[in-house]
Amino acid sequence: MNIRKKLDEIILVDGGDNWWKPELFIKNTLNILPKEIEVLENPPEYDNNYNCFLYALGLSNNQEIIKDSKGFIYDSFLLKLLEEKELEYIDNPQIGDWIIYRDLEKYPELISHIGVINDNNKIISKWAWGPLVKHNIFDVPRSYGDDIYYIKSISEDKAKQLYSKYKEFNKKSNVRVTLP
């Protein structure tokens, strides 16, 4: 089975509970992940959990922002930052810059995932409310899409400033994503 399809299936077992609830992840999921996926951190407890966008922005340890955002920075926030030229697309990413995943065919208006470029062409990213993982560029769930772009990263301080300035744009999209 294709690793990407398998990852979609693993994440969705039991409505996703085995993915993001720490005790269930350790008991039911950790040992069935493909060997290509290196778990760096298990999912945090509910009140401290966060998504991929919070991680990439460097805000995953900022309890004030996690509480204010309820652990979610939505793609609408990043899209607003790109629209306002607060973030910029780049062609030659460096370690620490960001990779974004999109499915331009099915959901052209969404950013489905973001990760941080690490050494040896590896990516570190937080998969939904699940674990923090290190993986190859396309060793991600198929549902994240096949279209990738790079964005120049910003500092944690800049991310905090931008969150304060644009947080009213941090809203869940009305687009419904269906998995293959």
60: tokens are 């995953």
| Residue 180: band (very low, low, confident or very high) from pLDDT cuts 50, 70, 90 | very low
Summarised one tens digit per residue, pLDDT across range 129-147 is: 999 999 999 999 999 999 9
Query: Is residue 179 pLDDT above 60, yes or no?
Result: no
| Nearest residue to 36 via CA among 126, 134, 127, 162 | 134
> What global pTM score does this model have?
0.93
Lowest mean pLDDT among 2-6, 98-102, 138-142, 174-178: 174-178
Summarised one tens digit per residue, pLDDT across range 84-127 is: 999 999 999 999 999 999 999 998 989 999 999 999 889 999 99
